[in-house]
Amino acid sequence: MNEFCYVLTQMERSGIAIDIEVLEKLQEEYSKEKAELSEKLYELARESLGDTPFKLTSPDDLSMIIFSRKPLNKRVWADKFNLGSEFINGSVRPKRPLNISSKKLGEAIKSRSYVIQKTKANQCLTCHGTGKVSRKLKSGGWGKPRHNCNMCGGCGIIYTPTGEVAGFKQVPSTVHDLAAHGYKCGKNILIRLAGKAKNKDAKTFLTKMVRLNAVTSYLDTYIAGIRSHVGRDGILHTQFMQCVTATGRLSSRAPNFHNQPRGGTFPIRKVVVSRWKKGTITEGDYAQLEFRVAAALAKCNQAKADILDGVDVHQRTADILTKMGQKTTRQDAKEHTFKPLYGGTTGSKAEQAYYKWFSKRYTGIASWHNKILDQAVVYKRLVLPSERIYKFPWCNRSATGGISGATKIKNYPVQGFATADIVPIACTKLYHLMKEYGLRSLLINEVHDSIIVDTCPGEEDKVKDCIADAMLGVIDGLDHKFNFTFNIPLVIEIKRGKNWLEMEKIFKG
pLDDT in tens, 243-254: 999 999 999 998
Query: Which pLDDT band, with edges at 50, 70 and 90, does 263 fall under?
Result: low
Q: Is 326 helix (H, G, I), strand (E, B) or coil?
A: coil
Q: Are residues 125 and 172 in the same domain?
A: no
* 371 domain-assigned: yes
* 224 domain-assigned: no
Q: Are residues 181 and 299 in the same domain?
A: no
pLDDT of the residue at 92? 76
Q: Are residues 424 and 403 in the same domain?
A: no
* 101 domain-assigned: yes
Q: Are residues 352 and 477 in the same domain?
A: no
pLDDT tens figures, 124-159: 999 989 999 988 887 878 888 888 998 888 899 999
* HSE, side-chain direction, 13 A CA sphere, residue 329: 2
pLDDT of the residue at 233? 94
Q: Which of 88-92, 256-260, 393-397 has the lowest mean pLDDT?
A: 88-92
Q: Are residues 423 and 399 in the same domain?
A: no
Residue 384, domain CATH = 1.10.150
* 195 domain-assigned: yes
Residue 445, domain CATH = 3.30.70.370
Q: Are residues 363 and 463 in the same domain?
A: no
Q: Are residues 275 and 137 in the same domain?
A: no
User: Which residues, in sequence order, are bridge partners of residue 504?
Assistant: 496
Query: Which pLDDT band, with edges at 50, 70 and 90, does 97 fall under?
Result: confident
Rounded mean pLDDT of 460-470? 97
With a cut of 80, say whether residue 434 has pLDDT above it: yes
With a cut of 80, say whether residue 11 has pLDDT above it: yes
> Distances from the Cα of 128 to the Cαs of 122, 145, 442, in angstroms?
10, 11, 70
Rounded mean pLDDT of the chain?
Answer: 91
pLDDT of the residue at 343? 73
With a cut of 90, say whether residue 353 has pLDDT above it: no
Number of domains into which the chain is organized? 4
The total number of residues written for the chain in this structure: 509
* 225 domain-assigned: no
pLDDT of the residue at 248? 92
Taking the mean position of all CA atoms in its chain, how far away is CA 427?
24
What DSSP letter does each residue of 407-427 carry, written as one string?
HHHHHHHHHIIIIIIIHHHHH
End-to-end CA distance of the chain: 27
Q: Are residues 182 and 99 in the same domain?
A: yes
With a cut of 60, say whether residue 350 has pLDDT above it: yes
Query: Which pLDDT band, with edges at 50, 70 and 90, does 103 fall under?
Result: confident
pLDDT of the residue at 336? 84
pLDDT of the residue at 188? 84
Q: Are residues 75 and 178 in the same domain?
A: yes
Query: Which pLDDT band, with edges at 50, 70 and 90, does 90 fall under?
Result: low
pLDDT of the residue at 264? 62
Picking from 381, 410, 439, the residue at the C-terminal end of a domain is: 410
- Are the C-beta atoms of residues 373 and 409 closer than 8 Å to each other? yes
Picking from 410, 432, 463, the residue at the C-terminal end of a domain is: 410
Rounded mean pLDDT of 203-219? 94
What's the CA gap between 305 and 288, in Å, rounded? 14
Q: Are residues 320 and 454 in the same domain?
A: no
- pTM for the predicted model, two decimal places: 0.84
Q: Are residues 365 and 254 in the same domain?
A: no
pLDDT of the residue at 122? 94
Rounded mean pLDDT of 428-446? 97
With a cut of 90, say whether residue 344 has pLDDT above it: no
pLDDT tens figures, 223-239: 999 999 999 999 999 99
Q: Are residues 382 and 336 in the same domain?
A: yes
* 492 domain-assigned: yes
Percent of the chain scoring above 90 in pLDDT: 70
With a cut of 70, say whether residue 89 has pLDDT above it: no
- Are the C-beta atoms of residues 344 and 326 closer than 8 Å to each other? no
Percent of the chain scoring above 70 in pLDDT: 98
* 58 domain-assigned: yes
Three-state SS letters, 255-308? CCCCCCCCCCCCHHHHHEECCCCCCEEEEEEECCHHHHHHHHHHCCHHHHHHHH
With a cut of 90, say whether residue 16 has pLDDT above it: yes
Domain that holds residue 138: 117-165
* 61 domain-assigned: yes
Picking from 410, 425, 450, the residue at the C-terminal end of a domain is: 410
Query: Which pLDDT band, with edges at 50, 70 and 90, does 441 fall under?
Result: very high
